[in-house]
Amino acid sequence: QVQLVESGGGSVQAGGSLRLSCAASGRTFSSYVMGWFRQAPGKERVFVGNIRSSGETRYADSVKGRFTISRDNAKNTVYLQMNSLKPEDTAVYYCAAQLVDSSTFNYLSLLAYYYWGQGTQVTVSS
């Protein structure tokens, strides 16, 4: 069983920055694929980005160049640094984990992730 706890959400004006953290339990965090997703009111949950065990990252086009995902394996934590925030970034942000890093999974899909955090609200005002 893996537990994920997000933190760092809040309210910010457009153009501002926030850093979300996701602390994970488990002894083999370094091998996890970690994903970030977001869900705006009335919309489905969508992919934001992920980081593989190798450190390779992928991002949705909507956040590319503004958001950065990193991980600290010594702290069992993954981060989502969000810069140049826009009102359309307003959503509940979720981190997710898949314990297996394999070409079998499409890590851009929420279906690839087995463990999910509780979510943290990010609100960007204009």
Coil/strand/helix, residue 44? coil
Q: Is 84 left (phi over 0), alpha (psi -120 to 50) or beta?
A: left
Residue 23: count other Cβ atoms within 10 Å of its Cβ.
Answer: 17
- What pLDDT does residue 58 have? 97
Q: Which of 2, 7, 1 is nearest to 78 (CA)?
A: 7
Q: Which residues contact 86 (CB under 8 A, 6 or more apart)?
A: 14, 124
- What pLDDT does residue 71 have? 97
- The rounded distance, in Å, linking the Cα atoms of 109 and 87 is 24
Q: Write down the residue that tokens 């851009």 correspond to.
A: 108
- What pLDDT does residue 30 have? 93
Would you write out the chain's pLDDT as a tens digit for each of its 126 residues? 899 999 999 999 999 999 999 999 988 999 999 999 999 999 999 999 999 999 999 999 999 999 999 999 999 999 999 999 999 999 999 999 999 888 888 999 999 999 999 999 999 999
Taking CA 71 as the corner, what is the angle to CA 75 and CA 37, rounded to the nearest 5 degrees?
115
The token pair that represents 103 in the structure block: 């070409």
Please give the full DSSP string across 33-89, using - where no structure is assigned: EEEEEEE-TTS--EEEEEE-TTS-EEE-TTTTTTEEEEEETTTTEEEEEE-S--GGG
